[in-house]
Amino acid sequence: MTQIESDALVVRTVEVGESDVVATLMTERAGKIAALARGARKGSRRMGGALEPVHTVSVLLDDRGQELTTLKEARIVRLRSAVASNLEALEAAGIALRWARHVFPLRTPEPGGWLALVELLDGLDAGSRSPHRDLARAGLSMLSAIGYGLDFARCVACGRVCPDGRRAGLDQARGGLVCRSCGGGSTVIAAGLRRAAMDLARGGSVDVTDADARQILALVDRAMALHAGFDR
């Protein structure tokens, strides 16, 4: 048996028996892990009410190399109480944590994905002016981190660059734009939306309107669903 000590985000909890909880954790050091927290629903001092989403927690896990680890200790190290008081921020955080639960593989560290999640939650807690825009940007970063990044600049089949000012076909399952010569994409996006998506993917946001962000968010959510196989 080995022990894992890491910062983590709680992406799901399921009640088991009379007092236990199985928590799905996105950990910084070991990736996504499922852990059994014994007595968590009886106010265990070792958990300290730490199994709530949104906050960053420090966890100590006993790992026997099986699918389910044992959560020995958990404590909150980064409280984000402002997120819970803002409905849009709370919704954005919930969507991001759902993505993480579905698309990140088990026991595979994803430093880029972890950073995108933490930066999003910190931004939401600080009072983001556009939770949808920040969520769309985080989603694009998460897709890139796990190898499913969307290319809005060129055809993913032949590599031909799409000229500025031209609408294009997007195929999320194939990873980006697909030109007509290569079969085209099922979703047609306008030139302005392509520019906004590329700006967000580069970490920018100056010229991205909230309306554009919502459309990009829909494209990202569709890509997540296709690659992870979950219902939107």
More reliable by pLDDT, 40 or 60: 60
Is a pLDDT exceeding 80 seen at residue 67?
A: yes
Better pLDDT: 47 or 116: 116
Query: pLDDT (tens digit, 9 = 90+) per residue, 10-49?
Result: 999 999 988 899 999 999 999 999 999 998 877 666 776 7
Rounded to 5 degrees, what are φ and ψ at 112?
Answer: -65, -40
pLDDT value, residue 45: 66
Whole-number pLDDT of residue 171: 97
**Cβ-defined contacts of 168-175 (< 8 Å, 24+):** 168/194, 170/219, 172/219, 172/222, 172/223, 172/226, 173/223, 173/226, 173/227, 175/148, 175/149, 175/150, 175/151
For the sheet with 187-189, list strands across it.
151-155, 176-177, 168-171, 187-189
Model confidence pLDDT, tens digit, residues 26-36: 999 999 999 99
Domain 82-228, CATH 3.40.50.970 — does that match?
A: no
* % of the chain at pLDDT higher than 70: 97
Percent of the chain with pLDDT strictly greater than 90: 84
Residues of the chain with CATH 1.20.1440.120: 82-228
Tell me where in the chain the CATH 2.40.50.140 domain(s) lie.
2-79
Residue 1 scores a pLDDT above 90: no
Q: Minimum mean pLDDT among 73-87, 139-153, 205-219: which range?
A: 205-219
> What does the pLDDT look like over 168-207, one tens digit per residue?
999 999 999 999 999 999 999 999 999 999 999 998 766 7
* 2-79: CATH number: 2.40.50.140
Contact at 8 Å (CB) between 30 and 104? no
